[in-house]
Structure 1
Amino acid sequence: MRITLVLVCGTLVLSGCDSAPPAPPAPAPSTPAPVVVTSSPPPLTPVRRVFDPAHVQDGVRRVLTESYLVTEVGDVSCPADQDVVPGRTFECTVDIAGREEKVTITVRDAAGGYEVSQPKP
């Protein structure tokens, strides 16, 4: 009788394994989370960009002679410490045939592009 009980218990244990709850469904496929690469924090104070007056003076001379066809362009003097900020304007002084005239520099973009106006007394 003992053997029968063991077999019956063993059968019950084995049959209990067949009625285990189903496995959870596999998770839906997904893309991995993006990797975020951090560097040192940006400076709190933005970097100030200014024009090199010598380069602007050369540019003014070139625009006056090549684009506006002004002859007898002498000294060109542009102020130092002019910020590269779109929309900003400043004036340079130009000697044209012995007369002092002014040109207005208008900053076009943050890359340092600018326009030169026609000379005016």
Structure 2
Amino acid sequence: MVRTTLVLACAALVLSGCDSAPTGPAPSTPPPPTTSTAATSSPTAPASLTPVRRVFDAAHLQDGVRRVLTESYLIAGVGDVSCPAGEDVVAGHIFECTVDIAGEKEKVTITVRDAAGGYEVSQPEP
């Protein structure tokens, strides 16, 4: 009986040793990810929340005005069109372009209809 108790006691010790976890340091969680701003911006430069200013491309605008005058208003002799550079693409904004029509300098009024860049061209006036 002593032998049976001793075998059972040794078996209990062996089994209890198999079930225990190693006694090393507890596993750690990795540190939270960090983001670096060195590659994207200067640490002293604040992020800009200012909306980007949109302006008309003067060359495209001039071509559009010429097309409206010749195709929609059916005006013959439309020559050079000159529109100011840097006009804002803002609904309700109004400005003028100068147009050469049959050798005479005339003006057309441009009215911006929407923020997408739609505009209206007035009839030419001397």
Using structure 2 for the length normalisation, give the TM-score.
0.62
- Report how many residues are paired: 80
Would you identify which runs of 4 or more consecutive aligned residues in structure 1 move more than 6 Å? none
Measured on the aligned residues, the alpha-carbon RMSD in Å equals 1.0
Q: Percent identity?
A: 81
Using structure 1 for the length normalisation, give the TM-score.
0.65
Q: Distance in 2 between matches of 1:46 and 1:89?
A: 21
Q: Which residue of 2 aligns with 1:53?
A: 58
Correspondence list, 1:1-121, <5 A: 43-121=48-126
Q: Distance in 2 between matches of 1:85 and 1:64?
A: 22
Gap runs ≥5 in structure 2: 1-46
CA-CA distance at 1:46 after TM superposition:
0.5
* Counterpart secondary structure, 1:65: helix
